[in-house]
């Protein structure tokens, strides 16, 4: 079900240490020499496990799990998948979830652990396509969406457990489509979007034990749409975006029960802001901004507010990116010390990166593995 490579994930051609914090590292996670693309999507709680998708030369894309220098390439051949990609990972990194597709291009959600391998989860009744978007802390609860083929109007959010199987989550209206994007640590809170098909109105929603709540919008009006993208570990902080048809702009928001939906602010020149992840206590939010059509990674913290990630590296850590363009941040560890995302290298090539701020509790094995990633190229496993 998987292959092991006891080596670094990639060939890193660029490593930078900040003068302000000599131990902070920015490391390229470009594709190894036996693949043409690697797409990290999620970190586990302490940032020591990374999952995503990888595209080997001459082969369909497969899911991967990287941990402390050991790379597992996970495929779904034995359960009928042609391509497979991981989208999320449990807190301890032992369970990953995502979706795989067969020869008929329809896909379904899967759950993987070392003991079970890839387990297909099927779809909601009457559907033939599904995808798992998130998993809770212990890997027992998955959320995502199920639909009929490529007809997104049929999309319905689901919550999966081993005992209950895949169950549809309520929508705001009978004619609404819905997607669940994230789930809290204990699995009781899920967040996402519900869109009414009659007029296209989309609203951020929160599900608690299956009951749906409309989180609304800030600007309001028929032309404003919102979607919740991520939720904190305890379910109290929700992050997402609101888009306005009137001026084709969007902003990122942070929602709490006490303050409601609050804008994260603005970045000079940015027309659109989209958050992708939040840390465990909701104090760190990451995502991407569009500036003159170009994607730029951003970071928001309670103490410093909203900034471009490149500016954070330069100002706070003294790291000169030397021509790199950081496009987005896909994921952040629970304590906000490890980040992964996409970038364009100085040569114009697409790549991925990891930024690590060592903490007192950081695993030495993990830090050594990151250093290894900066010095070695991964080789294909022996046939």
Q: Is 16 a domain residue?
A: yes
Length, in residues, of the chain: 383
Global pTM reads 0.90
Q: Is 117 a domain residue?
A: yes
pLDDT at 200: 76
- For residue 49, the domain's CATH number is 2.130.10.10
Q: Is 321 a domain residue?
A: yes
- Cα–Cα distance, 22 to 292 (Å, whole number): 34
| Backbone phi and psi for residue 122, each to the nearest 5 degrees, phi listed first | 75, -155
Per-residue pLDDT reduced to its tens digit, 306-321: 999 999 999 999 999 9
- Cα–Cα distance, 29 to 256 (Å, whole number): 35
Q: Is 271 a domain residue?
A: yes
pLDDT at 223: 78
Per-residue pLDDT reduced to its tens digit, 218-244: 987 777 899 999 999 999 999 999 998
Count of structural domains, the chain: 1
Sheet containing 260-263, strands listed edge to edge, beginning at the edge strand earlier in sequence: 224-231, 238-244, 249-256, 260-263
Q: Is 296 a domain residue?
A: yes
Q: Is 252 a domain residue?
A: yes
Pick the range with the lowest mean pLDDT from 174-178, 186-190, 291-295, 336-340. 174-178
Domain extent at residue 189: 2-373
- Using DSSP, state whether 224 is helix, strand or coil: strand
Q: Is 329 a domain residue?
A: yes
CA 219, 221, 223, 229 torsion: positive or negative? positive
| pLDDT band at residue 21 using 50, 70 and 90 as cut-offs | low
Q: Which residues contact 133 (CB under 8 A, 6 or more apart)?
A: 87, 88, 143, 144, 145, 179, 180, 181, 182
Q: Which residues contact 73 (CB under 8 A, 6 or more apart)?
A: 2, 3, 5, 54, 56, 62, 63, 64, 381
- Cα–Cα distance, 288 to 252 (Å, whole number): 10
Q: Is 383 a domain residue?
A: no
pLDDT at 72: 87
């Amino acid at each position: 079900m998987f292959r092991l490579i006891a080596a670094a994930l990639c060939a890193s051609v660029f490593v930078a240490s900040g003068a302000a914090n000599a131990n902070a590292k920015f490391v390229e996670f470009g594709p190894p020499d036996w693949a043409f693309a690697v797409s990290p999507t999620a970190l586990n709680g302490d940032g020591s496990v990374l999952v995503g998708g990888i595209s080997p030369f001459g082969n369909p894309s497969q899911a991967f799990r990287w941990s402390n220098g050991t790379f597992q390439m996970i495929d779904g051949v034995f359960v009928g998948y042609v391509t497979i990609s991981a989208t999320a990972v449990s807190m301890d990194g032992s369970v990953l979830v995502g979706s795989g597709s067969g020869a008929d291009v329809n896909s379904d959600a899967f759950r993987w652990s070392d003991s079970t391998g890839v387990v297909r989860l099927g779809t909601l009744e009457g559907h033939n396509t599904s995808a798992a978007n998130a998993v809770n802390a212990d890997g027992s609860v998955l959320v995502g969406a199920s639909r009929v083929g490529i007809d997104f109007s049929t999309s319905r959010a689901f919550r999966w457990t081993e005992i209950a199987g895949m169950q549809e989550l309520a929508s705001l209206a009978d004619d609404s489509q819905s997607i669940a994007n994230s789930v809290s640590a204990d699995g009781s809170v899920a967040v996402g979007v519900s869109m009414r098909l009659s007029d296209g109105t989309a609203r951020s929603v929160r599900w608690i034990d299956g009951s749906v709540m409309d989180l609304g919008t800030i600007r309001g009006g028929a032309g404003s749409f919102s979607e919740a993208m991520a939720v904190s570990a305890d379910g109290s902080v929700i992050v997402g975006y609101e888009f306005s048809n009137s001026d084709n702009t969007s902003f990122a928001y942070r929602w709490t029960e006490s303050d409601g939906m609050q804008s994260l602010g603005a970045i000079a020149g940015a027309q659109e802001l989209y958050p992708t992840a939040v840390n465990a206590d909701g104090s760190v939010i990451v995502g991407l901004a569009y500036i003159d059509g170009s994607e730029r990674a951003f970071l928001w913290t309670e103490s410093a507010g909203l900034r471009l990630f490149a500016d954070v590296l330069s100002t706070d850590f003294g790291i000169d990116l030397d021509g790199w363009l950081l496009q987005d941040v896909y994921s952040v560890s629970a304590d906000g010390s490890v980040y992964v995302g996409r970038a364009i290298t100085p040569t114009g090539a697409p790549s991925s990166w990891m930024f690590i701020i060592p903490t007192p509790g950081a695993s030495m094995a993990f830090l050594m593995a990151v250093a290894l990633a900066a010095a070695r190229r991964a080789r294909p496993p022996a046939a």
